[in-house]
Amino acid sequence: MILLEVIATTVADARAAERAGANRIELVTAMGEGGLTPSIGLIEAVVDAVRIPVNVILRPHSRSFVYDADDYAVMLRDARAIVKARANAIVVGMLTPDGDVDIDGLSCIIDAADGLQVTFHRAFDEARDLRAAFDALLKLEPVTNVLTSGGKPSVLDAQDVIAKLVAQSSGTRCTVLAGAGLTVDAVAPFVASTGVSAVHFGSGVRIGGKGLAPVDASAVARVRTLLDAVNA
């Protein structure tokens, strides 16, 4: 089965996504800023409301993906709280000023995550060398997903890059989670051409295609049907 992850910002979003066939939720707040850490109350409520895994973004602000000591202090507190709220995984990403993966910072978050899996989010797309960044992440066992648009604003413009990352991940425990710019109509040919086994939808499955609108269950269901057809 090709995994379908859908962004939720509310309990209603999460319920709609699950009902329509999503396999996993990425829970965020402030979607207009690219997603920030949601409240503990929201995390607990969504975990209680659905049976599918809930991955929670850990992002203290939207200024950049380069964090200082105070940012990390906040993120470590949030990571421990996310664990207690029974999330499935933490979604996080950080870079050095030179554009490499901040391995030291990521390692601190992994320690605080206390065994939870980690998705490295689209901070990856701002790395100076995607292949090198991916190699660095593959060495960290808790990192089981890398969310990427292949370094482009839309993943549909980076299908060759995505296919190469999928090949690079072959035989590892890490999954290329393709997202950003995916549309319902484009998802089947995209999956067929890249070989990805997991896709991530935000605006593409929201009412009117608008990022701040609620999840459109009919759009999620259509994506699920198309993915199942490709898989068959």
State the Cα–Cα distance between residues 8 and 202, nearest whole angstrom.
8
- Using H for helix, E for strand and C for coil, what is the string for 20-43? HCCCEEEECECHHHCCECCCHHHH
Instruction: Look at residue 153 and tell me whether its pLDDT is greater than 90.
Output: yes
What is the average pLDDT value for the chain, to the nearest integer?
97
In the chain, the N- to C-terminal Cα span, in Å, equals: 9
**Span 88-117, pLDDT tens digits:** 999 999 999 999 999 999 999 999 999 999
Instruction: Look at residue 38 and tell me whether its pLDDT is greater than 90.
Output: yes
CB 190 within 8 A of CB 155: yes
Q: What is the per-residue pLDDT for 122?
A: 94
Q: What is the per-residue pLDDT for 107?
A: 97
Q: What is the per-residue pLDDT for 200?
A: 98
State the Cα–Cα distance between residues 72 and 70, nearest whole angstrom.
5
DSSP string, 150-173: TTSSSGGG-HHHHHHHHHHHTTSS
The CATH-assigned architecture of domain 3-231 is: Alpha-Beta Barrel (3.20)
| pTM value surpassing 0.85 | yes
CA R_g for the chain: 16
Q: What is the mean pLDDT of residues 26-44?
A: 96
Q: What is the per-residue pLDDT for 232?
A: 78
> How many CB atoms are closer than 10 A to CB 138?
15
Q: What percent of the chain has pLDDT over 70?
A: 100
**Neighbouring C-alpha atoms within 13 Å toward the C-beta of 130:** 24
